[in-house]
Amino acid sequence: MKTIVIGDIHGRGTWQLIVQKETFDRVIFVGDYWDSFNIPFLDQMYNFKQIVHFATTAGNDVVLLTGNHDVHYQRWAIESGETYSGFQSIHANDICQEMEQLHDGLMKMAYKMDNFLFSHAGITQTWLELMEIDNDENMVDIINDYAKYKPQMFAFGAVGRGGWVDGYGDNVWQNPTWVRPRSLMKDSKDLGYIQVVGHTGQNCIDIKGKATGGHYYFIDTLGSSGEYLIIEDGQVSAGKI
């Protein structure tokens, strides 16, 4: 089995070069389909529609995960003012309607494959404990149910412990759309998974695990090295556009 994992999109259409180039059994997008400093809104919209079309017609398993730049276009977030950097206020309702109409139920918050755990930013032990979620075979299903029925739980700092809140999201109790690599690596080794996440830009993917011990792969690299992750028969490598 060969799985391709693609980092943060932010309106980029380069994912199409990857799926045209590679043979695969499964493709996983780690989220952040919206918001760009240089790609116009209409191009972002077209690209998102193309991703949804690919996900629903590819004939292979395609997983669409949710990032923080997707969360702030959900209806509850717009109405409550839960917005982050890059928020396109003029187009917010159009984006919200597009997400609701095109793929109700298609996007997920987390995905598990063998001993790999995928989310936009990562899952910490502290966050699971605060959410009263056990690390068992039902964990991912419960997280996805929360995202569907209690999406406010994925607001920035929604289940924080109080006290100091890092504005960058670098707290061990932050949720899977916000936690940063330092906190993730500090507070999730006992979960027993290899975590694959985006969210925090990297110059390249650390395939050799020099900085992560091979327990984490940070793949927000489409805008830098153009790399993406390949998992084939349990072995990890990097492809490049």
Alpha helices in 58-112 (DSSP H): 68-71, 75-80, 92-102
Tokens of 181: 């690599």
- For the cut 90, the answer to whether the pLDDT of residue 35 exceeds it is yes
Can you give the pLDDT at residue 102? 67
* Amino acid (one-letter) located at 241: I
CB contact at 8 A, 221 and 240:
no
Would you tell me the crossing angle of helices 41-57 and 92-102 to the nearest 10 degrees?
10
Average pLDDT over every residue of 229-237: 96
Per DSSP, 189 falls in state G
Average pLDDT over every residue of 19-36: 97
Q: Taking the CB of residue 45, how many other CB atoms lie within 10 A of it?
A: 17
- For the cut 80, the answer to whether the pLDDT of residue 103 exceeds it is no
Any idea what the Cα angle at residue 240 is, between residues 235 and 241, rounded to 5°?
140
Tokens of 179: 């936690």
Can you give the pLDDT at residue 106? 87
Look over the chain and give the mean of its residue pLDDT values, rounded to a whole number. 95
pLDDT in tens, 135-151: 999 999 999 999 999 99
Can you give the pLDDT at residue 104? 57
Average pLDDT over every residue of 83-88: 97
Q: Note if the pTM is more than 0.85.
A: yes
- For the cut 90, the answer to whether the pLDDT of residue 52 exceeds it is yes
Tokens of 190: 């006992």
User: What distance separates the 2 farthest-apart alpha carbons in the chain?
Assistant: 48
- For the cut 90, the answer to whether the pLDDT of residue 87 exceeds it is yes
Q: Taking the CB of residue 129, how many other CB atoms lie within 10 A of it?
A: 14
* Amino acid (one-letter) located at 95: I
End-to-end CA gap in the chain:
21
What percent of the chain has a predicted confidence (pLDDT) above 90?
Answer: 92
Question: Which residue, among 27, 107, 118, 99, has the nearest Cα to 66 in the 3D structure?
Answer: 107
Count CA atoms within 13 Å of residue 109 on its CB side.
24
Average pLDDT over every residue of 206-225: 96
* Local confidence band at 59 (pLDDT 50, 70, 90 cut-offs): confident
Average pLDDT over every residue of 177-185: 98
